[in-house]
Structure 1
């Protein structure tokens, strides 16, 4: 019995060492072949000799040679789970405690017990749709990071600056996104818009709206009020 257990133990150790060696080889090949793409992590996948690679803001699958990539969703049919989507949610989480809240507009609704950190573009149609849904959500504190994507919306940066410099910034924001009421012209003031653009790039936020929950989970795109409620309550 002791001999069998010893043999099993050495077998496990050998497998672990091989797996680590294969991951190391893969990491070296990725760095050599794709030096311009930052690799965030390399982990085993449910398939033997195939690895999950988080690079360029997305998950791909490959073997240790890194010559070919499998791109798409890995589905657990029996468990009815999208493994790739679940893993991306984990890998894309951030530490919200590191967010510079002085660069955000703070808006408290009700007791404000739940928290949401939002990166939004004033001229983004999906951001406008999300804002209409957020107006229905109570008991939440919203930290709004103005993030104009000028490549798509040339005037968005100007609107964002006017919103920030308004007497009541969040009301000005809602008036513009929900009621299409332009912000009143105000005297120029120092805004965090450029810093927010840099921050969004650091966080690999490629589109708006994007918001984070208190546990750092990243949510992309417009969501309904009921969906937002569900997401907030899940981390309460």
Structure 2
């Protein structure tokens, strides 16, 4: 099962080129209409003219050996350029005389390309024009699945120590084997209690911390699931506001929610915000109307808690499975799946 959440580390996608011994021009190939083809012709004409003026020339080079290049050789040649990136595999690519190199950066694997002479290192996308396939993107998806599967295996071992093998198997049946990659055990300390926003039974034996952003569309999805779950489940959901910096009104909206003078009023306002999430004028109005200094201070404690449990995006739930220990689950789950997870953990 694939779940979604607003990623704190969301960044725009760029295409790069890194120079080793020579200069190379990298062009992204797209499927174009007639108007775009004319624009592309003009761009290429300009590129050729610039190349002529600057006196650049490109020599045809071929691999002299049939033997595949080794990872150690790649690492040695590119060490000054790689920083904290580490080559973990090298293989042939769909383009003759170009190798695919998988780099591991901060635990994530990404494909780059290098020619057989090790003169040109290229980062970008290979697109199969004939078959209309983005080969690089497909490779990235494959690598992510492999990473998730590997992580899920490790998570499964850890969870068995706290939940037992039977419950872990039940969770696997609910979310799928790869779905366990969204689970992790965390130490839970100093849960913010001042102006706590609680949905459900505050005296329930099961507390679920929900780290949410009022402007995150996936948080809205989970919020609706929570309200459905509470129709027939006796649990406590305690909300922690974690406004993400790329959501324009999230900070002000979060402050507005905790500035209310009762739990019921906080819930009512948060419900209103999620219901009107697409109405940016409404969000702006609410974010400016109810802010207070106390709210700002409270949101800072909420952010500190979220960062301490290493939240990478919203929504994130933490099931308190015993004192000081929680099961962290990332992503927005539909109500039926969430009910099943609760039944296993409770």
1:211 maps to 2:317: yes
Figure out how many residues of one structure are paired with residues of the other and give that number.
170
Please state how far the C-alpha of 1:89 moved relative to its aligned partner: 6.3
2:212, 2:243 within 8 Å by CA — same for their partners in 1?
yes
Q: What is the CA deviation profile of residues 95-128 of structure 1, one whole-angstrom value per residue up to 9, with x for unaligned ones? A: 33x1323256232425644321011011001001
- The list of structure 1 runs, each at least 4 consecutive aligned residues, that deviate by more than 2 angstroms after superposition, is 70-76, 84-92, 103-106, 110-114, 178-187
1:127, 1:208 within 8 Å by CA — same for their partners in 2?
yes
1:117 maps to 2:117: no
Secondary structure, in 3 states, of the residue corresponding to 1:230? helix
> What is aligned with 2:79?
none
> What is aligned with 1:154?
248
Mapped partners of 2:216, 2:293: distance in 1 = 24
Secondary structure, in 3 states, of the residue corresponding to 2:156? helix
> What is aligned with 2:50?
none
> What is aligned with 1:20?
none
Alignment of 1:84-163 (within 5 A): 84-86=154-156, 92-96=184-188, 98-103=189-194, 105-110=196-201, 112-138=204-230, 139-150=234-245, 152-163=246-257
Q: What is the CA deviation profile of residues 165-206 of structure 1, one whole-angstrom value per residue up to 9, with x for unaligned ones? A: 124112211221135475482362412112222222222111
> What is aligned with 2:29?
none
1:234 maps to 2:344: yes
> What is aligned with 1:11?
none
Taking CA–CA contacts closer than 8 Å with sequence separation of 6 or more, which of the two structures ends up with the larger relative contact order? 2
Q: What is the CA deviation profile of residues 133-176 of structure 1, one whole-angstrom value per residue up to 9, with x for unaligned ones? A: 111012221111000011x2021001100111124112211221
Q: What is the CA deviation profile of residues 66-94 of structure 1, one whole-angstrom value per residue up to 9, with x for unaligned ones? A: xxxx9843859xxxx94145357689312
1:104, 1:145 within 8 Å by CA — same for their partners in 2?
no
> What is aligned with 1:73?
147
Secondary structure, in 3 states, of the residue corresponding to 1:92? strand
Ranges in structure 2 where 5+ consecutive residues have no aligned partner: 1-83, 85-104, 110-142, 161-182
Larger Rg: 2
Ranges in structure 1 where 5+ consecutive residues have no aligned partner: 1-35, 37-54, 61-69
Secondary structure, in 3 states, of the residue corresponding to 1:217? strand
1:119, 1:145 within 8 Å by CA — same for their partners in 2?
yes
CA RMSD between the two structures: 3.5
Instruction: Calculate the TM-score normalised by the size of structure 1.
Output: 0.60
> What is aligned with 1:199?
305
1:118, 1:212 within 8 Å by CA — same for their partners in 2?
yes
Mapped partners of 1:74, 1:188: distance in 2 = 42
1:59, 1:88 within 8 Å by CA — same for their partners in 2?
no
Instruction: Calculate the TM-score normalised by the size of structure 2.
Output: 0.42
Mapped partners of 1:112, 1:200: distance in 2 = 23
1:173 maps to 2:173: no
Mapped partners of 1:159, 1:140: distance in 2 = 26
